[in-house]
Structure 1
Amino acid sequence: MEKEFDGDCRCYYGVHCVLKTSWTDENPGRMFLGCPNYRDGGGCNYFDWIDPPISNRKKSTFFSLLRRNESSEVRQHRIENKLEFVEGEMHMLRADVDRLEVERQSLEENLRTL
């Protein structure tokens, strides 16, 4: 996440800082101010944390919730794939039923003529 900071923070080049969120293992979800040109390689490396350090307990909880969310997404994807497979099977079975119905009608017609 990156957005312009509302305050009067400026980097070493005098450019308004941007508010960013860290997603590193050491500082997940922790916000900081930085030079807007950092990613372009032309930034001045200005950096200032907004949030206080994160306790190990909060980090553990954060990553546990992240894993739980990811596993839910994986389960949802697996269920969606199974649903597509079952729908395909149902389509093929309906086609078989239609074919068998036509064959049954043909056999009944032959039986009547005999």
Structure 2
Amino acid sequence: MSLWAKCSKRKTSWTDLNPGQRYSAFENFREVGGRCYFVWIDPPMCTRARQIIPGLLKKVYKLENNLKQVNKLENDMKQLEDDLERKRSREK
């Protein structure tokens, strides 16, 4: 096994220029003079994929955020229903 393979981690780029492209980078590359040492694992994506994927990712992030908000509202509503039920039971 090469020194590179022992000292590096495989990661995935989610930048607009290289969405979903895997690369191998040194674990401590930030400590090595502030330079980034990495090697692309996957071949470059086609231009169309680089145009489409960032927009799709933004939509996914927005939907995930909306889902978190809905879950929070459902939890808040459940808490309010429980509080109301306790209040009604005390009044009886």
TM-score, structure 1 as length reference: 0.58
Of residues 12, 32, 39, the one that matches 2:30 is 39
Maintained 8 Å contact 2:13/2:19: yes
Residue 82 (structure 1) shift: 1.0
The farther-off stretch of 32-41 and 75-84 is 32-41
Of residues 63, 67, 71, the one that matches 2:58 is 67
Structure with the larger helix share? 2
Residue 54 (structure 1) shift: 1.8
| Residues matched between the structures, number | 89
Maintained 8 Å contact 2:25/2:37: yes
Please tell me the root mean square deviation across aligned C-alpha atoms, in Å.
2.7
Structure 1 residue runs of 5 or longer lacking an equivalent are 1-7, 102-114
- Which residue in 2 is equivalent to 1:91? 82
Counterpart check, 1:25 vs 2:11: no
Q: Which has the larger radius of gyration?
A: 1
Matches of 2:57 and 2:25 in 1, distance apart?
A: 25
Structure with the larger strand share? 2
> Residues 45 and 63 from structure 1, CA distance in 2 versus in 1: closer, same or farther, beyond 3 angstroms?
closer
Maintained 8 Å contact 2:13/2:20: yes
Of residues 76, 97, 100, the one that matches 2:91 is 100
TM-score, structure 2 as length reference: 0.68
Of residues 10, 16, 22, the one that matches 2:4 is 16
